Amino acid sequence: MRNPDKLALRSEAYADFLSGMNSSAIQTEYEVLHLMRQCTAQFGFSHFMIARLPSGEQQRFAERLVLSSWSSDMVRQYDAAAVFHVSALIERLRQTRLPIFGETAVLLNAQCDNAVDAIGALFAGQAMRNAFAVLMHTTSGEAFAILLSGARTEPDRAETADLYLTLLQLFETLERTFEAGVSARDKLSAREIECLRWAAAGKSSDEIAIILGISVYTVSSYFKTATRKLDAVNRMQAIARALRMKLI
């Protein structure tokens, strides 16, 4: 039986969260990232990720990832497993517009006959045990997956509706930042692009310094400026954005 006091508190907290989300003032992906962290915590989850749906086979997860609270190591390991494009999540999202709830490791793994053992270990434990996922589309029709993971149980119908509406508003805000980021194509220097390209190929800062004939300090400086120009929060996101914008 539902607890009226808890429901009232939840509704009040939800209303406060939405009232603080002034989308017209949001200009960058970093600001959307902050709101996504708030949303994730507000609804009792611990992690989130937003990624473009693969449009073909063997498309790397890191290239499709837009925003995420996953650690860089987790992104790297999941990307290496190469199962995102054949995952149960992608298959199910292509078959329904309704929210999906299930075990994170199952949703993010390949279909049963191609399941990868490492995925279960990667998402094992309470922190990311269950996941809530929805499909979103930009105004141009491009499809995105939004996935929240955590230890909580499945949301009821009312909370699912609240969560879906919140994610829809956040995604609409995120879409507006895509256009704002296009100008970064003209801002990146040739050296910054080179550093990002070699990093995307798996080279370390030391290796990039040797390849380009510059110091490691200078390489780090290029990464910092490129990350800022691409409105990214770290090097990995900068690489993902550069790949998405076809800069590298």
DSSP codes joined into one string, 83-117: -GGGBHHHHHHTT-SS-EEEEHHHHTSBPGGG--H
pLDDT at 234: 87
Mean pLDDT in residue range 80-85: 90
Residue 7: pLDDT band (50, 70, 90) is very low
Q: Which of 69-78, 121-130, 161-170, 234-243 has the highest mean pLDDT?
A: 161-170
Q: CATH classification of 4-180, choosing from 3.20.190.10, 3.30.450.80, 3.30.300.30, 3.40.50.720?
A: 3.30.450.80
Reported as type and span, the H/E element at residue 145 is strand 143-150
> Is residue 238 within 8 Å of 228, Cβ to Cβ?
no
pLDDT greater at residue 16 or residue 128: 128
In the chain, list all ranges with CATH 1.10.10.10. Answer: 184-244
pLDDT at 188: 85
pLDDT at 230: 84
Mean pLDDT in residue range 33-60: 87
pLDDT at 113 over 90: no
Mean pLDDT over each residue of the chain, to the nearest integer: 83
Pairing of strands 130-137, 100-103: antiparallel
pLDDT at 155: 95
- Alpha carbons 132 and 107: distance in angstroms, whole number: 10
Q: Which of 73-77, 159-163, 200-204 has the highest mean pLDDT?
A: 159-163
- Alpha carbons 244 and 58: distance in angstroms, whole number: 15
Residue 39: pLDDT band (50, 70, 90) is very high
Q: CATH classification of 184-244, choosing from 1.10.30.50, 1.10.10.10, 3.40.50.720, 3.40.30.10?
A: 1.10.10.10
- Alpha carbons 36 and 69: distance in angstroms, whole number: 9
Residue 6: pLDDT band (50, 70, 90) is very low
Q: Residues near 191 by Cβ (< 8 Å), separated by ≥ 6?
A: 212, 214, 222
In the chain, list all ranges with CATH 3.30.450.80. Answer: 4-180
Angle between helices 29-42 and 4-19 (to 10 degrees): 170
